[in-house]
Homo-oligomer: A and B are copies of this chain.
Amino acid sequence: MKVVITGGTGFIGRRLADTILKKGGLTGPSVTEERVEELVLFDQLVPDGFDLGSDPRLAIVQGDISDKATIDRLIDRDDISVFHLASVVSGGGEKDFDLAMRVNLDGGRHIMEALRARSSVPRLVLASSIAVFGGAAMPDQVGDKTKQTPQTTYGITKAISELLINDYTRKGFLDGRSARLPTVIIRPGKPNAAASSFVSGLFREPLNGVDIALPVKESTLMPVLGYRAIVDGIIRLHELPSDALGDDRALSLPALTVTVTDMLDALDRVADGKPLGKITIEPDPFIEEIVTSWARDTYYDRAIALGLPKEDSIDEIISYYIDDYLNHA
């Protein structure tokens, strides 16, 4: 079978690809495990110095997701699965509404239409986000039963995509699932345009001896999850039998709900006296407005019941980052 990961050259996309290639097979449209013959990382831009490696199954296709013909060419087999991670992110969407609509909404529709046009019922996993929650009436704890009144264009497009995937699935056009991601930590490399980018920076920069100014207050509470649990959760969601999800195909991934202080304390514990870059708090109104509009706490009993994983502590997540990106570097 073929696997397509949109936004595939991104951090989660690349880790997801490596994990799938190591696993070797996925449940295909025939509802049996099939060998992954080709895995395409689809992306608009390939980052400088991106290392594709030597696995012959792995390829990059560069293109614009908002171009329907490009997506129709990409989704060219009946035995296919798509992991749809490509997205204009939260801060980016606030700065360019039209781009967010074109990429997140129209691009997502092109993916769904291309899958629908196949003569099979392929699986599709969307990376949605807890940014679908927001607004004055948002409860303290949000989850699968919470009304979605997002307060960013990013969140709006993700909420709409969850709805469309529900309907395309109900109609039998595809077999969709949406994973609502909390803030993913710890992303290696450079900051990105996501308003939550600082949450990875909070660990990454000090561990790399770099100073960082945090744009939000230390008391800011947020649900986070490590990239290993995110990737494993996305694959687990793909592999679940279709009837395990019922008529609402979207679920909130598990998360750890922590304050900035909790995360800084965990960093101190794991660093255990080793020198760290300096951390200061310098609130940025643009970032604070977005982040404080998000959910502070989540529930995720459905994800746990379906076997989706989470790390036990922030300390554990920091240790993985050190193993994966610092000890190997």
- The answer to whether B97 and A149 touch across the interface, beta carbons within 8 angstroms, is no
Contact of A160 among B145, B160, B247, B248 (CB under 8 A): B160
Number of interface residues of A (CB under 8 A): 26
Contacts of A146 in B (CB 8 A): 147
- The answer to whether A148 and B149 touch across the interface, beta carbons within 8 angstroms, is no
- A84-110 CB mask vs B (1 if < 8 Å, else 0) is 000000000000010000000000000
A59 at the interface (CB under 8 A from B): no
- Given the complex of chains A and B, what is the CA–CA distance between A135 and B150 in angstroms? 21
Contact of A164 among B135, B156, B167, B248 (CB under 8 A): B156
Contacts of A144 in B (CB 8 A): 137, 147
- The answer to whether A163 and B145 touch across the interface, beta carbons within 8 angstroms, is no
A153 at the interface (CB under 8 A from B): yes
A166 at the interface (CB under 8 A from B): yes
Contact of A135 among B135, B148, B156, B247 (CB under 8 A): B247
- The answer to whether A248 and B137 touch across the interface, beta carbons within 8 angstroms, is yes
Contacts of A159 in B (CB 8 A): 163
A23 at the interface (CB under 8 A from B): no
Contacts of A166 in B (CB 8 A): 149-150, 156
Contacts of A56 in B (CB 8 A): none
- The answer to whether A148 and B163 touch across the interface, beta carbons within 8 angstroms, is yes
- Given the complex of chains A and B, what is the CA–CA distance between A90 and B151 in angstroms? 29
Shortest Cβ distance from A66 into chain B, in angstroms? 14
The residue on B at minimum CB distance from A97 is: B171
Contacts of A246 in B (CB 8 A): 135-136
Task: Evaluate whether A153 and B167 lie within 8 angstroms (CB atoms) in the complex, with A147-B145, A147-B147 already known.
Answer: yes
A170 at the interface (CB under 8 A from B): yes
The residue on B at minimum CB distance from A98 is: B113
The residue on B at minimum CB distance from A153 is: B167
- The answer to whether B148 and A171 touch across the interface, beta carbons within 8 angstroms, is no
Identify which of residues 115-170 in chain A touch chain B, using a CB-to-CB cut-off of 8 Å. 134-137, 144-151, 153, 156, 159-160, 163-164, 166-167, 170
Contacts of A97 in B (CB 8 A): 171
**Would you give 29 A-B contacts (Cβ < 8 Å), ordered by A?**
A97-B171, A134-B247, A135-B246, A135-B248, A136-B247, A136-B248, A137-B144, A137-B145, A137-B248, A144-B147, A146-B147, A147-B148, A148-B148, A148-B163, A149-B166, A149-B247, A149-B248, A150-B163, A150-B166, A150-B167, A151-B170, A151-B247, A153-B171, A156-B163, A156-B167, A159-B163, A160-B160, A160-B163, A160-B164
- Chain A residues at the B interface, C-beta cutoff of 8 Å: 97, 134-137, 144-151, 153, 156, 159-160, 163-164, 166-167, 170-171, 246-248
Given A136-B246, A136-B247, A160-B160: 8 more A-B contacts, CB < 8 Å: A137-B248, A149-B247, A149-B248, A151-B170, A156-B166, A159-B163, A160-B163, A160-B164
